[in-house]
Amino acid sequence: MVVRDLANIQGFSQQCISDEPFEISDAYTGDLLSDVMGNAPSDSVLITIQAHKNTVAVASLAQIRALVICNNRSIPPDMLQAAKEEEIAIFTTEDTQFEASCKIASALGRFDAGQN
Amino acid sequence: MQEIPINTYTSPNVILELIYRLKVKDVMTTDLVTATKETKLRQIQYIMREKQVTGLPIVVGKRLIGIVSMDDIIQALDKGYIEETAQEHMTRNLIVLEDDMPISFAISYFDRFSYHRFPVLNRHKELVGMITSRDITSTLLVEINREIEELEKRTCTSSLSQEMSGEIHTYSIMKNDFENAGYASTEIKKRLKSAQIAPHIIRRAAIASYELEMNLVVHSDGGELIAEYSPQTLQITAKDSGPGIPDIEAAMTAGWSTASEWIRSLGFGAGMGLPNVKSVADDFTIESGRNGTTVVCTIELHPNHEEE
């Protein structure tokens, strides 16, 4: 799927998005940015509660294409600005990271996650 | 016998690999239009027109028993038996391909026999697809395009990284400056990207530089991040003026951290920084004393070239 498809997931609200139809093939859930940096796959979506500018920097460096910020946390303006510059999409949701991860696993068709 | 129209000994490897790597199943159409043996030829004529195909496999379940071609339909119209069923007039003497055969095989079949399409069977002898020369042409075109793109990129990369060679960039990093944290790593990443270094190498360089940059922000009294480019390597040096790491072995252990609660609430201080740097670097050294810490890590920019 592409980044834009995340907007169709129930309860996800799009805050910004790039015009580029970046492919999303995997996902990673985590709040520790250096864990994310070291382990998140490229072309992925990051599910996190870290709503600040540094998350965008990590995403950009690790080639994460989209962020899903959970627990209804709000996006500071400098984070939004950075995301637009780095062409990283941001979605917010009231879901917990677990709930958001389940929805994304389903959207990616990754029912096999954790089985290999 | 001339099997395929290129020399299989002297042709470029990339082309030879392609025609042996690609299998019939990668090329064939799996969206099949079939008819049963009871189907009337008239009906088959309509299906052919509607689906724009020139031959229809006749099946019993998944078993192929014949083909009705456009030529069979013309014969039927000419001789007046268009209202009769497929089984009475279909071609039963069939030449088939197997889905695991390389496409070089399929190409030679089109040369050897005058048919425009071949049914494809799997190893259980079930009909799984049809292949036309058009299927082969378009898949080959896409694959050749991809291979050439890769080749061009590789040639061009070497010259671009020559150009980058000798550049040294120094970035000053301030203590607790989270506002600008990530700037140096982003600049390094952009430089590598414009030199068209492979994405997985850029990612490794980005991880190393970001972790080192964040270490300077979080733990040091301030310092410098230095990026030095050579044709084959990027060397990143993180240098600070204190306070030093009391226990380097502990600092290199995943999960060990001295970060404060505040730093942790920002998502840093997971104790993964230096271990992350070490795992992505091709070479890694660390020295620390009361007057400061110096980490030097090297990343090979073209590791595949060496293997070749």
Within the 41-70 window of chain A, which residues sit less than 8 Å (CB to CB) from chain B? 42, 48, 50, 52-55, 57-58, 60-63
Find chain A residues with C-beta within 8 A of B214's C-beta.
33-34
Ramachandran category for residue B241: left, alpha or beta (phi over 0 → left; psi -120 to 50 → alpha): alpha
Q: Which two tokens mark B184?
A: 């140096």
Of B72, B77, B74, nearest to B90 (Cα)?
Answer: B72
User: What is the distance between the terminal CA atoms of chain A, rounded to a whole angstrom?
Assistant: 22
A61, B199: Cβ pair inside 8 Å?
no
Domain ranges of chain A: 3-108
Interface of B with A (CB under 8 A): 178-179, 181-182, 185-186, 189, 199-200, 203, 206-207, 210-211, 214, 266-268, 270, 272-273, 275-276, 279-280
Single out the residue of B213, B211, B191, B212 nearest to residue B202, CA to CA: B191
| CATH entry, A3-108, from 3.30.930.10, 3.50.4.10, 1.20.140.10, 3.40.1390.20 | 3.40.1390.20
- Gap from A50 CA to chain B (nearest CA, Å): 7
Q: Looking at CA atoms only, how far is residue B199 from chain A in angstroms?
A: 9
Average of per-residue pLDDT across A100-105: 95
> In angstroms, rounded to a whole number, what is the distance separating the alpha carbons of residues B204 and A45?
19
> Among all chains, which residue has been given the structure tokens 């995403």?
A59
Nearest-Å Rg of the Cα atoms of chain B is 32
Q: What is the pLDDT along chain B (308 residues), one digit of tens a residue?
A: 446 677 777 777 778 888 888 999 999 999 899 999 999 999 999 999 998 888 899 999 999 999 999 999 999 999 999 999 999 999 888 899 999 998 888 888 888 888 888 999 999 999 999 999 889 999 989 988 888 888 877 776 667 777 788 889 999 999 888 888 888 998 999 999 888 888 889 989 999 999 999 999 989 999 999 999 988 899 999 999 989 998 899 999 888 888 888 888 778 888 888 998 999 999 999 999 888 999 999 999 988 654 43
**Structure confidence at residue B3 (pLDDT):** 64
Cα of A97 to nearest chain B Cα, Å: 15
Measured between CA atoms, the residue of chain A closest to residue B279 is: A38
CB-based contact B98:B119 (threshold 8 Å): no
By the 8 A CB rule, do A48 and A28 touch?
no
What pLDDT sits at residue A110? Answer: 84
ipTM for the predicted complex comes to: 0.74
Q: Give the Cα separation of B90 and B34 in Å (integer).
A: 13
B242, B290 contact by CB (below 8 A): yes
Q: Is A111 left (phi over 0), alpha (psi -120 to 50) or beta?
A: alpha
Q: Tell me the nearest-neighbour CA distance from A25 into chain B, angstroms.
A: 16
Asked if B203 and A38 come within 8 Å (Cβ–Cβ), the reply is no
